[in-house]
A and B are shown apart, each in its own frame.
Chain A
Amino acid sequence: MIPNGSAFLRAGGLCLAFVIVQVSCISQINLLGGGANIVPLYVAAVALYAGSIPGAAAGFSAGLLLDLAVGGDVGASSLVLTAVGYGLGRYREVRDPAHSLAPLPVAAVATLAYALGFAAVSFMLSSEADVSALVLRDTVVTVILNCLIALPAFVLVRRVLRPVLVVDPLERRRRRRGPRPTGPIGLRGIGDPGTQL
């Protein structure tokens, strides 16, 4: 990501929008005994399209805003989401996933990592109440629902961040495709009988 004012404005606006929509709308919707959580999706999308440092920064800021908005323990979500954003950013830098369905596993991993990480932090911060097995069901439902909404969420983040990304994800995907077959004199399309110029 190109670190300029526009980038901060776009990433910050997206962060605020995702957190507000999460706490005001998405959290009110209960499906199959659980609910979606779009904040890890935002962090995962930034990490996937911009890399590890923007991913960690997005995780930290989204977590901080979330903790401030819902009155949670300030720093807990930041800690977990920073790690999630950094990890997924490193995955993008090392493996460079360019498949159009890459957001699905990335969203699933981000959601699961956030849920497990947050549970671990909550335990460490001494949760004195009993923990129901339904926490697992809630986690599974959240992962499934997040996978369902991952593609539009990633598309939204990509569209907003595209002007400030160093490498356009769509262009990257086009480059990853192999060259089209050429004809006998080196022109594409001539050698393929089913293709007309």
Chain B
Amino acid sequence: MYDKTVRRRRVALAVFIGLSLLLLTTFFGESGGGPLHAVQKGAQEALSPLEEGASRAGKPFSDLVGWTGDVLGAKGENEELEREVERQRKELARAQTDRNEAEQLRGIVGLNRQEGFPTSVEPLSARVIARSPTVWYSTIQINKGSGDGVEVDQPVIASGGLAGRVTSVTGGNARVTLITDATSAVSAQIMPEGATGVVKPEVGDPNDLLLDFVERRSSLKRNAIVVTSGFKSTRNLESLFPRGIPIGKVSRVDAGEIELYQRVHVKPFVDFKRMDIVQVLIPRSEGQRAELRGEASR
């Protein structure tokens, strides 16, 4: 009797472990459109109404807990923000002057044919209904899907700047992989220096991104703004993110003595742990762009 119980217990463990390993192997072995990925999408579609309901029901509670935490850290943050606002005001005045000058310059060199961030995409607001509970997967689920025009690889922004990109879509919802996910990499540029690199995450610390592959000779300043570079090569290789979306600001620069590149630490503008509403940037049709250009010229 005892032997039978022990055997049954061991068989059960072996079956569950074996099934888990089989699932893992199959999941990694198949393509993005394989059966397990399809089951995953179906499950997300089926669970999304429950998740949305639970998210709405639990919102007051999570807000209350968040508010308590916010109050504790608000005093110190307030002084910092006041200084930040003062600095931003000055920068805004300077930026508006610069913009006028830049527009005139674009007219001279014909750069105005290049489609910039504000006119090439149309933001679609969406609500965050679920998010990954571990630091290893930085993904969120939003309540807009292919029925609303959302497609895979479209960029997603949140309050402050770039949040991530759509990696999976079903009819009514979509999964967004944040730029803090281990698999994420975004081509970026430091303004106004113009140095370029690739923004990668540091797992476990959503307040610290790494801008890698920045040449050593580039001199960088703290608090310089980092934006998406939105490159487009002659071989039809194109960044998924339009140029000019703010990512964060430079917080620290590490330069190893023997390394060719500098590692720039970037503090993202987006608070990844407090995202409730995001916007998916859906490309405008050519007709809409032409219409916008017409309005702008009038």
Q: Which residues of A contact B (CB under 8 A)?
A: 16, 20-32, 35, 37, 39, 52-53, 56-57, 59-60, 63-76, 78-79, 82-83, 86, 118-119, 122, 125, 127-135, 138
CB distance from B266 to the nearest CB of A (A): 13
Question: In chain B between 6 and 56, which residues have their CB closer than 8 angstroms to a CB of chain A?
Answer: 8-9, 12-13, 16-17, 19-28, 36, 39-40, 43-44, 47, 50-52, 54-55
Interface string of B91-118 (1 = CB under 8 A from A): 0000000000000000000000000000
Is B236's beta carbon under 8 Å from chain A? no
CB distance from A54 to the nearest CB of B (A): 9
Q: Which residues of B contact A (CB under 8 A)?
A: 8-9, 12-13, 16-17, 19-28, 36, 39-40, 43-44, 47, 50-52, 54-55, 57-58, 61-62, 65-66, 69, 128-137, 139, 141, 167-168, 175, 182-184, 200-205, 208, 210, 273-274, 276
Q: Give the distance in Å from the alpha carbon of A191 to the alpha carbon of B208 in the complex.
A: 69
CB distance from A138 to the nearest CB of B (A): 5
Q: Are B204 and A70 in contact (CB under 8 A)?
A: no
Q: Are B66 and A30 in contact (CB under 8 A)?
A: yes
Q: Are A134 and B20 in contact (CB under 8 A)?
A: no
Q: Are A129 and B273 in contact (CB under 8 A)?
A: no
Contacts of A86 in B (CB 8 A): 13, 16
Q: Are B47 and A20 in contact (CB under 8 A)?
A: yes
Q: Are B19 and A78 in contact (CB under 8 A)?
A: yes
Q: Give the distance in Å from the alpha carbon of A119 to the alpha carbon of B24 in the complex.
A: 15
Contacts of A65 in B (CB 8 A): 43
Given A73-B28, A75-B20, A82-B17, are A29 and B66 also a contact pair (CB < 8 Å)?
yes
Closest to A51 in B: B9
Q: Give the distance in Å from the alpha carbon of A159 to the alpha carbon of B160 in the complex.
A: 45
CB distance from A65 to the nearest CB of B (A): 8
Q: Are A69 and B28 in contact (CB under 8 A)?
A: no
Give 16 A-B pairs besides A28-B58, A52-B9, A130-B202 with Cβ atoms closer than 8 angstroms: A20-B54, A21-B58, A25-B54, A27-B130, A27-B133, A29-B65, A30-B273, A52-B12, A56-B13, A56-B16, A69-B130, A70-B133, A79-B17, A125-B28, A131-B204, A135-B205
Q: Are B51 and A79 in contact (CB under 8 A)?
A: no
Contacts of A83 in B (CB 8 A): 17
Q: Give the distance in Å from the alpha carbon of A177 to the alpha carbon of B20 in the complex.
A: 40
Contacts of A69 in B (CB 8 A): 43-44, 47, 51, 130
Contacts of A28 in B (CB 8 A): 55, 58, 62, 128, 131, 276
Shortest 9 CB-CB distances between A and B: which pairs? A25-B58, A75-B23, A135-B204, A75-B24, A132-B205, A79-B20, A24-B54, A68-B43, A129-B182
Contacts of B200 in A (CB 8 A): 129-130
Closest to A61 in B: B16
Q: Are B36 and A129 in contact (CB under 8 A)?
A: no
Q: Are B133 and A135 in contact (CB under 8 A)?
A: no
Q: Are B27 and A74 in contact (CB under 8 A)?
A: yes
Q: Give the distance in Å from the alpha carbon of A131 to the alpha carbon of B47 in the complex.
A: 31
CB distance from B104 to the nearest CB of A (A): 43
Given A52-B9, A71-B175, are A138 and B51 also a contact pair (CB < 8 Å)?
no
Closest to A114 in B: B134
CB distance from B127 to the nearest CB of A (A): 11
CB distance from A90 to the nearest CB of B (A): 8
CB distance from A50 to the nearest CB of B (A): 12
Q: Are A131 and B44 in contact (CB under 8 A)?
A: no
Partner of A24, one of B43, B58, B276: B58
Q: Are B130 and A70 in contact (CB under 8 A)?
A: yes
Q: Give the distance in Å from the alpha carbon of A132 to the alpha carbon of B52 in the complex.
A: 31
Partner of B182, one of A24, A63, A128: A128
Q: Are A135 and B135 in contact (CB under 8 A)?
A: yes
Q: Give the distance in Å from the alpha carbon of A125 to the alpha carbon of B20 in the complex.
A: 14
